[in-house]
Amino acid sequence: MVQRQIPNPADVLEFLKIKMPEFGKEARLKKAFSIYDLRRIAKRRTPAAAFDYTDGAADDELSIQRARQAFEDIEFHPDILTPAEHVDTSTEILGGPSALPFGIAPTGFTRLMQTEGETAGAGAAGAAGIPFTLSTLGTTSIEDVKKANPDGRNWFQLYVMRDRDISYGLVERAAKAGFDTLQFTVDTPIAGNRMRDARNGFSIPPQLSLGTIANAIPRPWWWIDFLTTPKLEFASLSSTGGTVGDLLNSAMDPTIGYDDLATIRELWPGNIVVKGVQNVPDAVKLIDLGVDGIILSNHGGRQLDRAPIPFRLLPEVVKEVGQDATVMVDTGIMNGQDIVASMALGAKFTLVGRAYLYGLMAGGREGVDRMIQILSSEIRRTMALLGVSSIDELEPRHVTQLTRLVPVGN
């Protein structure tokens, strides 16, 4: 029998202590325990057109859905009785250190998401000891990104434009500013069909309509920030009118080829990696040509919908190009477990784009810091639960990719 007694009033009062509510940026970010939590906060705080530009993808958005599903469809295989009391998440990538096995991917029009833009991303990356990548279509200059991250690793993502002199000038500026790696992007000969942007009437710069005004009413802080901070400036373009698709189609050149890669290789003194690789033969050819690395990516599902899933492609590419080749992966990463699985299957590094922007929209620089904290915590916890003390200890045996989409005939 359980012995019962009259409750002690002092004990009851212990349970009745009311925690005072907290408000403001710090309070809302403390309530974010996952990247999806940051996404929910970002959606509440950002006008629909800007949020959908970040969140959306091309056509029916199947590529991004499949990429995220592929990361969810993994099974980890932990080792037992192999203590990992001290987990080291640092790694070496492209001749330099990174405190974590991921960096910030290039994103366009970033200050439209939140006015601190690339300055927040570069500063947070520098503080965390990870690389930051500035996009050709970024809204902060190469030189100002360097000021925001003076001692950290800055990378530059290059589109080869119709006017080659624009691209060559950007390469020279990035080299002069001390950026150590250039991402030569090959998956954007023309703009993808981003229907959310078309439905929202999303343009650069934003245009006011009855719909945007109605959507902005509960988000006055976004418009106040937008209207009271310096005018948007792009790293490469002086003409910014029209939709995002119009802008991309007027600037990008569908005729770029291996000759352009060779020209940029001659101009660029640092590491050059090719971003947007989506099949094994291309990966093999590029590694044979001597590029410093490749990034398996379908541009976050924002170009060709139903494109190959980078994470699913990873083991086959690593098998063909060799364990020593620098193969990186992006698209669909929303959890530190996604990063651990990628590293186990042979990736040398990963890049996060949307996760970074969700943090930015949720809380500016502090939101990006929180994003990095969340992913870092998930990486450390996953490694410890696997019985792995360092990135180098991760092996393919730690992960099984479960299958949903299987090619006909296999």
Q: Which residue segments constitute the domains of the chain, with CATH numbers given?
A: 50-75+93-380 (3.20.20.70)
CA–CA distance, 81 with 29 (Å, rounded to integer): 36
Residue 239 has pLDDT above 70, yes or no: no
More reliable by pLDDT, 57 or 230: 57
Of 77, 86, 299, 398, the active-site residue reads 299
Using an 8 Å Cβ cutoff, are 286 and 330 in contact? no
pLDDT digits (tens, 9 = 90+) for 360-400: 999 999 999 999 999 999 999 999 999 999 999 999 999 99
pLDDT digits (tens, 9 = 90+) for 334-358: 999 999 999 999 999 999 999 999 9
Residue 234 pLDDT: 73
Residue 243 has pLDDT above 80, yes or no: no
pLDDT mean across residues, the chain: 90
Closest to 344 in 3D by CA, of 279, 401, 294? 401
Helix (H, G, I), strand (E, B) or coil at 90: coil
Residue 197 pLDDT: 84
Residue 21 pLDDT: 67
CA–CA distance, 145 with 178 (Å, rounded to integer): 11
Residue 64 has pLDDT above 60, yes or no: yes
More reliable by pLDDT, 23 or 94: 94
- Helix axis angle for 336-344 and 354-386, nearest 10°, is 60
The mean pLDDT of 232-251, rounded to a whole number, is 64
Residue 1 pLDDT: 76
Tokens 């940029």 — which residue? 264
Residue 128 pLDDT: 98
Residue 233 pLDDT: 67
Residue 40 pLDDT: 97
Lowest mean pLDDT among 202-206, 322-326, 369-373: 202-206
Residue 214 has pLDDT above 80, yes or no: no
Residue 216 has pLDDT above 90, yes or no: no
Using an 8 Å Cβ cutoff, are 331 and 374 in contact? no
Residue 297 pLDDT: 97
Using an 8 Å Cβ cutoff, are 81 and 318 in contact? no
Residue 279 pLDDT: 97
Q: How many CB atoms lie within 10 A of CB 27?
A: 10
Residue 266 pLDDT: 96
Residue 253 pLDDT: 84
Give pTM, 2 decimals.
0.91
Percent above pLDDT 90 for the chain: 70
- Catalytic site residue 77? no
Residue 223 has pLDDT above 80, yes or no: no
